Amino acid sequence: MKTRLLFGVMMCSGFLTAGIPIGAGDGGAFDGYAVSRGRLRAELTGIRMDGFRVSSMPAGPTETISPKKPMLAAALSAAVPGAGEFYSGSWIKGTVFLAIEVAAWVGYKHYTDKGNDLRTTFRHYADTHWFKLGENPANPSLGYDPNDPTVPSTHGLPESKTQQYYEMIGKYDQFEKGWDDWSKGVLVRPDITPHRDYYESMRHDHNDQLINASRCTMAALTNHLLSAVDAAWTVHRHNRSIRAALRTDVIMAQSEAVPALSLRMAW
């Protein structure tokens, strides 16, 4: 009988106390409740039988968690993708964003290095197989003649070997006679000698590598933006989430084991 009465008192007191209206502002503590800004912890921590008298044990220590800042999370992820997610406690998403960031910059370096190597290679190839008239050591009578009246002159070739110089000698038919295999009469396509064709394939491959490097850069920038937005939203949801836990405990009070029902709520 005494045990049943104890259990009934515990349950009724727990539900009645949990139903007390809470009118808390920025903070306060009353009736076993402790309220802090953005966090509520309600705990019914002691009901014991002392004859037929029911008394409440003192409330335990209050756990306070301050709300996190969405703008700070966004700023962290804008600087380093994933940092805002780590700040919000979302470790899996933070790891994913950080991994994408690392992969994007590793890809950028890979494609940039490969493009630079190809640029060095195709420029060396052009210096070996394309000549102006009189500059070919094997046959000075062969080569590109800017004064040849039979060759339409629509583009002026730069005197120095700039990026434009290396583009034009392979791109335009006007400069086709400068390739050292032109005199052999072997063409893979109209006005395209094997040396010119191979040179253009290397140059196109070089351009493709630089395009891939640019895509990696865009992927990294997009990752920064998405991570910043996600971090702010994750923190916003974290601050609004509600967590509740209801459990029974046995606590010691005045050298006596006392059953207790505790309810914790947080948002």
Looking at the structure, do residues 58 and 93 belong to the same domain, yes or no?
no
Q: pLDDT-derived band of residue 255, with 50, 70 and 90 as boundaries?
A: low
Looking at the structure, do residues 28 and 109 belong to the same domain, yes or no?
no
Tell me the C-alpha distance between 239 and 235, whole Å.
Answer: 6
Whether the model pTM is above 0.85: no
DSSP 144: B
Looking at the structure, do residues 258 and 184 belong to the same domain, yes or no?
no
Looking at the structure, do residues 218 and 259 belong to the same domain, yes or no?
no
Looking at the structure, do residues 112 and 51 belong to the same domain, yes or no?
no
User: Mean pLDDT score of the chain, rounded to an integer?
Assistant: 77
Q: What is the pLDDT of residues 44-60, one digit of tens each?
A: 444 444 443 444 444 44
- For residue 190, the model assigns a pLDDT of 83
Looking at the structure, do residues 242 and 165 belong to the same domain, yes or no?
no
Taking 50 as the threshold, does the pLDDT of residue 26 lie above it?
no
Strand partners, 195: none
Looking at the structure, do residues 58 and 145 belong to the same domain, yes or no?
no
Taking 70 as the threshold, does the pLDDT of residue 245 lie above it?
no
267 vs 91, residue with greater confidence: 91
Q: How many CB atoms are closer than 10 A to CB 140?
A: 11
- Which residues fall within 8 angstroms of residue 94, CB to CB, at 6 or more apart? 82, 83, 84, 85, 86
- For residue 86, the model assigns a pLDDT of 95
Worst-scoring range by mean pLDDT, 3-7, 111-115, 257-261? 3-7
| Tokens 């994750």 found at | 234
Tell me the C-alpha distance between 6 and 13, whole Å.
Answer: 10
Looking at the structure, do residues 253 and 207 belong to the same domain, yes or no?
no
- For residue 258, the model assigns a pLDDT of 67
Looking at the structure, do residues 83 and 181 belong to the same domain, yes or no?
yes
Looking at the structure, do residues 40 and 111 belong to the same domain, yes or no?
no
Looking at the structure, do residues 185 and 260 belong to the same domain, yes or no?
no
CA angle 160, 163, 167 (to 5 degrees): 105
Taking 90 as the threshold, does the pLDDT of residue 12 lie above it?
no
Q: pLDDT-derived band of residue 206, with 50, 70 and 90 as boundaries?
A: very high
- Kindly state the average pLDDT of the residues 146-174: 88
- For residue 240, the model assigns a pLDDT of 81
- For residue 13, the model assigns a pLDDT of 42
Taking 50 as the threshold, does the pLDDT of residue 263 lie above it?
yes
Looking at the structure, do residues 198 and 228 belong to the same domain, yes or no?
yes
Q: What is the pLDDT of residues 114-124, one digit of tens each?
A: 999 999 999 99
Tell me the C-alpha distance between 137 and 143, whole Å.
Answer: 10
- Which residues fall within 8 angstroms of residue 198, CB to CB, at 6 or more apart? 125
How many domains does the chain divide into? 2
**Residue range of the domain that includes 155:** 70-236
